[in-house]
Amino acid sequence: MSLEKKDEMDHKGWMKRKDLTPVEATFLTALVWMDKRLRIVDYLELMENLYYKVNMQMPKSHTEQYDLDNKFWYWYPLYALGSFSTLAYVVAAVSGALLGFYYAPAQAGDPSTAYNSITFIMTDLQFGFMLRSIHRWSAQVMVAAVFLHMLRVYFTGAYKEPRELNWLLGIVLISLTMVFGYTGYLLPWDQLAFWAGQIGVEMSLSIPLAGEWIAQLLFGGFTLSQATLQRMYILHVFLLPFVVTTLIAIHIGIVWVQGIAEPH
Amino acid sequence: MSETDTNTDGSEEARTDGGGPGIVAPDDETPTWRERKERTTGLSRLTYEYFERARREDQDLRTESDYVERDVLAFPTWPHETVRNLSIVAFFTGMIFFLAATMPPHIGAPANPSSTPAIILPDWYLYWSFGLLKLGPLNPDLAILGGQKLTADRTYGVLANVVVVGVIAIVPFLNKGSARRPVEQPFWSAVGVGGVVFALTISLLAVKNLMPMNVHLLFDLTFLLPIVATTITYAILKTMREGYMYDLNRRYYRLRPPK
């Protein structure tokens, strides 16, 4: 008999006694190792719960229960518009990241650097023309899908009672989508971009009281310059992606919790 | 018991670590967590009571319901909706690439502050907003101010944008009730159609220098067409509603008779 105090939680001895297969032994060793460090046990109940919920039999939807499927099957494609805009967003994000490797607004001085880097992407870069095309089209498609998604939600009354907050969140998202589009539109710094920017400055200047402050903040001055381009660039590639991605996650999370509202 | 214990302990022994573990084994006097919650006052008490009520309500709903788990009038997101979406979405992703390959964008002349182009336009999805900036003729000039306008035309346009977005935002708080389909709510559907038509006409107003028609006529049509569309939609849906609701109600109430 050993003098050493016996460890009540002698996991190694316990594993030896159990006569495990190599797979089980490896699994348990890894689990014990992780648990000692991360206290997985505390979350085990949570995970079990999730596991059973995932495998639970799904309830009949309203449509199935009352056999209404033949009544509004034609709505179904419209129900995919939300997914579709998310997907277009992902495509835009990926192609945008790739474009970002090559596009650069100048830090200071002449904004024509931006125009030149677009020209480079479109004429010299392998696959660059297609890349820009994909980025632009996915952005266009996303905006269109988001608009149509909003119409679908409106006409099927899906914004009603438990879902008002998600409707508000959706309005924030559609606005941010358009801001995304606007800032992106300005980045090539061609004639269209410049004069669209001019309109933007004038719009923000015409806001009572805060107008000049907003113009300074968003456009870096009352006339367009390198500062404007730089700010639009940071908005487009740094600020908006974080904000919009987070909001989309919340938006979809709420949909997940509440279920898809059917017309009935 | 435990109180007296700690008292005597404190007086007899000199303790170096500033007291015991501070954890006392529960005895009969120790309140349970439920009792503690029930004894709270104010907001936390209210919160506790509400959660208890909500839990009971859920439980009642569950016992009444013939559903397997929950009583939500909705598709489950997984798997019903997700699976359906994945297939449709795969097709449309292909469409994005097809569009990108067949209709690539081109780039215009570089920015030149000294030459204003004849046509300045934002991307198409901002036309509506751009159109709202051209509502100057609707900006009332007040007799009190001697024909002056209260706000500049430009400010008025920006304000119109805020109003439009604000109106859309409060829709769920105006339109209550359980109606979901256009035929069940002719008024709100008609308003929706009017809104869509207005979005189109105001976009056309934004590109008025490209429109081959009289500008004043265009301006009038911008506001008349939505009203016409609203009226027509309302009439149609009202008419459809009769027969439609009869059929729907029959099959609905046959399966779930009203209580």
Domain ranges of chain A: 19-55, 71-258
Mean pLDDT, residues A65-83 taken together: 76
Is the Cβ–Cβ distance between A67 and B251 less than 8 Å? yes
- Residue among A55, A130, A160, A169 with most chain B CBs within 10 A, to mutate: A160
In a domain, residue B32? The reply is: yes
- How many separate domains does chain B show? 3
**pLDDT given at position A70:** 67
Q: Which residue has the tokens 């500008």?
A: B215
In a domain, residue B184? The reply is: yes
Is the domain of B135 the same as that of B50?
A: no
Is the Cβ–Cβ distance between A67 and B255 less than 8 Å? yes
Is the domain of B132 the same as that of B248?
A: yes
Is the domain of B78 the same as that of B172?
A: no
Contact call for B96 and A138, based on CB within 8 A: yes
In a domain, residue B10? The reply is: no
Is the domain of B54 the same as that of B76?
A: no
pLDDT for residue A172 is more than 70: yes
CA atoms within 13 A of residue B186's CA, in its CB half-sphere? 15
Mean pLDDT, residues A202-210 taken together: 85
Nearest to A206 among B70, B74, B158 (CB): B158
Is the domain of B88 the same as that of B184?
A: no
Is the domain of B162 the same as that of B223?
A: yes
Report, at the CATH architecture level, how domain A71-258 is classified: Up-down Bundle (1.20)
In a domain, residue B110? The reply is: no
Is the domain of B96 the same as that of B130?
A: no
Q: Could you tell me if B98 lies within 8 Å of chain A, comparing CB atoms?
A: no
Q: What is the C-alpha to C-alpha distance for residues A177 and A146, in angstroms, rounded to an integer?
A: 8
Which ipTM did the prediction report? 0.73
Mean pLDDT, residues A182-188 taken together: 93
In a domain, residue B9? The reply is: no
Domain that holds residue B58: 24-62
Nearest CA in chain B to A54: B78
Is the domain of B171 the same as that of B245?
A: yes
Q: Can you read off the two tokens belonging to residue A3?
A: 């003098």
Strand-strand pairing, B74-75 and A260-261: antiparallel
pLDDT, tens only, A2-13? 666 666 667 777
**pLDDT given at position A43:** 76
In a domain, residue B108? The reply is: no
Instruction: Quickly count helices (H) and strands (E) in chain B.
Output: 9, 1
DSSP 3-state percent helix, strand, coil across chain A (nearest 5): 75, 0, 25
Is the domain of B198 the same as that of B127?
A: yes
Contact call for B154 and A159, based on CB within 8 A: no
Is the domain of B153 the same as that of B246?
A: yes
**pLDDT given at position B115:** 83
In a domain, residue B241? The reply is: yes
**pLDDT given at position B50:** 76
Other CB atoms within 10 A of residue B34 CB:
10
pLDDT for residue A147 is more than 80: yes
Run of H or E including A181:
helix A164-186
In a domain, residue B84? The reply is: yes
pLDDT tens by residue, chain B, 259 residues: 444 444 444 445 555 555 556 666 667 777 777 777 777 777 777 777 777 777 777 677 767 765 555 445 566 777 777 887 888 888 888 999 999 999 988 888 888 888 888 778 888 898 998 888 888 777 766 666 666 666 777 788 888 899 999 999 999 999 988 888 888 889 999 999 999 999 999 999 988 888 888 888 998 899 999 999 999 999 999 988 877 777 777 777 777 776 6
Q: Could you tell me if B150 lies within 8 Å of chain A, comparing CB atoms?
A: no
